Amino acid sequence: MPRKSPFKHHRFPRAVILCAVRWYLRYPLSYQDVVDLLAERDVIIDRSSVYRWVQKFGPELTKRTEKHLRRASVDWHVDETYVRVGGKWRYLWRAVDANGQMVDFRLTARRDAKAAKAFLNKAIERVRLHRPVTIVTDKAQAYRRVIREINHRYDSHFDGIRHIDRKWRNNLIESDHAAMKRRLGYRQSFRSLRTAKATLSGIETIRTIKHGHICHKQPGVLGEITFIRQLFQDARQSTACPRITLPQGN
């Protein structure tokens, strides 16, 4: 059964929608920046439209990219950083493999053993049979306890996950945090957990595509555009923004 087009009932061409979403997620732009860039191409929209598109198509992009991901390595680096949501600091848990490929992320209100356990269980469930052999973390005691519990849950015939808590060994994910924060630019605050999760999901997916952690992607930004166009195969137009002149009053 063919997948229902997510662009149905949208007023603007799908090529414009995908272009706006990709710009916002790939570069440190505000909604107004995207509006201005589209206005230079004679496409007149408002900021609320860009916001709605990002909230809808960011998670949709993540979902469609999932089956194209390269297999993550079995050596993980796990750490948490901070983002501001609704005027409060929230915790962004992230895991990358030894090649810098994103494994998973989770946004929580608390930084404790319960949150660490929920995140690691979610990440391991996502990779299923390719669970990690080693997990590198900082010296937070919550990780040690959670990894011990996860090892007890597995069949004794399997080797347990080796926990390495040397902070200097986790420089890989620390630098990845910094790169992701630069992508956020001055969008360091979100209004709600729902909007934060949808936006971060799209940003992490675009970074994954950019870094080539997917199969059969051509190099460079044109390769990214082509890959995204192919993800939305029901789209009949290129995801590159055409020069469109809208009728007066639209």
CATH number where 152 lies: 3.30.420.10
For 76-128, write each residue's pLDDT tens digit.
999 999 899 988 999 999 999 999 999 999 999 888 889 999 999 999 888 87
User: What range does the domain containing 248 cover?
Assistant: 1-69+214-250
Q: Are residues 102 and 177 in the same domain?
A: yes
Q: Domain check: are 184 and 94 in the same one?
A: yes
Residue 171 sits in the same domain as residue 104 = yes
The angle, 0 to 180 degrees and rounded to 10, between the axes of the packed helices 31-39 and 14-26 is: 130
Q: Quick one: 186 and 226 in the same domain?
A: no
DSSP 167-197: GGGGHHHHHHHHHHHHHHTT--EES-HHHHH
In tens, the pLDDT along 160-202 reads 889 998 877 788 888 989 888 888 876 667 889 999 999 999 9
Confidence of residue 1 (pLDDT cuts 50, 70, 90): very low
Tell me how many domains the chain contains: 2
Q: Model confidence over 54-80: pLDDT tens digits?
A: 999 999 999 999 989 988 889 999 999
In a domain, 202, yes or no: no
- pTM for the full predicted model: 0.84
250 pLDDT band (50/70/90 cuts)?
A: very low
Specify whether 175 is located in the same domain as 114: yes
